[in-house]
Structure formats: C-alpha cells, structure tokens
Amino acid sequence: MSPVIALRGVRRTYPGTPPVHALHGVDLLVHRRDYLAIVGPSGSGKSTLLHLLGLLDTPTDGVYELNGADVGALPDVDRTTLRGAEIGFVFQSFHLLPHRTATENVELAMLYNRSPRRDRRTRAREALDRVGLTHRRDALPTTMSGGERQRVAIARALVNRPSLLLCDEPTGNLDTATTATVLDLFAGLHVDGLTIVMITHDLAVARRAGRVAEISDGRLTERAAG
C-alpha cells in the first residue's frame, strides 16, 4: 500500500535578490495511521512545508506523492479538487463564520465537493457528534469557548472524510486544560485510523504524537518521540 505522503528531495525556493531557500531536499514518508508532529521555530520552514503538503503550493524541485499519485506539478484546478477530497485542515485560528451555527459552519465544507444537499445536514451533525459537540450543534461560535470552537473546526475538517488531517498550531490559541482536551480528541481520531500531521512549536504538544520530526533552516530530521 502506498504511503499517504512521500516526499523525495523536495525543495522550495522563492525568487528574490537573493532567492529564499525555504526547503532543502526534504525527504519524508507518512504511512496510513501515522501521527506525525513537525516542530521548529518561526522561520524554520514549517509553514512552507505545510502549504506543500496541503497542495496550497508546489515544490520547486523534487517529488511529492499523495496516496501514490505524483501531485507536485498538478494544475491548480486538479490540486483544488484533490485537496477537497483527501485533506482536512485545522488551523490555529478557527475561521468560523460568527453568525452561522456549528452545524452550518461544518456544512460549508461540503459546498464544493458535490455532496447532495439532503446529506449535508446529516453528515455535519455526525461530524459534530464525533468531536463531542452533539449538545452544541445549533450554537453560534460567539457563544462558544475556544475549545468548542476548535472542535467545530475539527468537525469541519473531518466532514469530507479525508485520508489526511493537517493541523497548523491547532492548540496555539488554547489554554493548558483545553489543549489537553483537544489533543485527547486527536489521539482518539488517530486510534480510529486517521492519518495526522501536526505542525507545532510546542514540544509538549509534539510528544503526544507517535512520531516527531524537527525542521530547522528548511531541513527536516526525525527524532525519537517522547
């Protein structure tokens, strides 16, 4: 079975005087059911790597295979379609519409993937149930705690049943207790079979993952978790 993610010699250079070499020959394999945390300081290349993994950017050199398909040079329209079908995103900022209910915010993720209208409400509610928000389905984000809003964002990322969940500092806006709750949720999703890649600057958060890699000056090295 092909890895979910296979990077071989991936580089990303941004033009300028001088050019900015954001990634240097990155090699990475992420298999199904892996839970990988990538740690590094600001400016280390974390965001560039996440954008490449999420098909928001393309490598300058090297190969990126997603579920066995070479996606590095796909046209924009094909990357957009594949991203919607295969990848769920969770960000530090929740990106919820304040005047839409939790269910409606989750439903929005299905607008562009041809999900039948009659199925959207059911699937959105199922996703909210999965993150423990059955009792908050009809609540507005403005009435929710930070942890609840992040769980709505996670439900939105899950509703299209992605093969890969990409998380960008998902606990960055949360207090310690709420961070633990959200990390417990990710651990449960991983046990259920979801492949997760998390970008974080926090080693305590990274240690909850099964694998930990460190990025520094655009170079990625794996380290022992724990």
- In tens, the pLDDT along 109-134 reads 998 777 777 899 999 999 999 999 99
Q: What is the mean pLDDT of residues 184-194?
A: 95
Q: How far apart are CA 192 and CA 32, in angstroms?
A: 11
0.95 exceeded by the pTM?
Answer: no
pLDDT exceeds cutoff 90 at 2: no
For the chain, the domains span: 32-58+73-223
In the structure, what pLDDT confidence band is assigned to residue 154 with cuts at 50, 70 and 90?
A: very high
**For 32-58+73-223, which CATH class?**
alpha beta
What is the residue type of 84? Answer: G
pLDDT exceeds cutoff 80 at 226: no
Helical (H) or strand (E) element with 26 = strand 20-30
Q: What is the mean pLDDT of residues 81-91?
A: 93
Contact 142, 98 (CB under 8 A): yes
Q: What is the mean pLDDT of residues 4-24?
A: 94
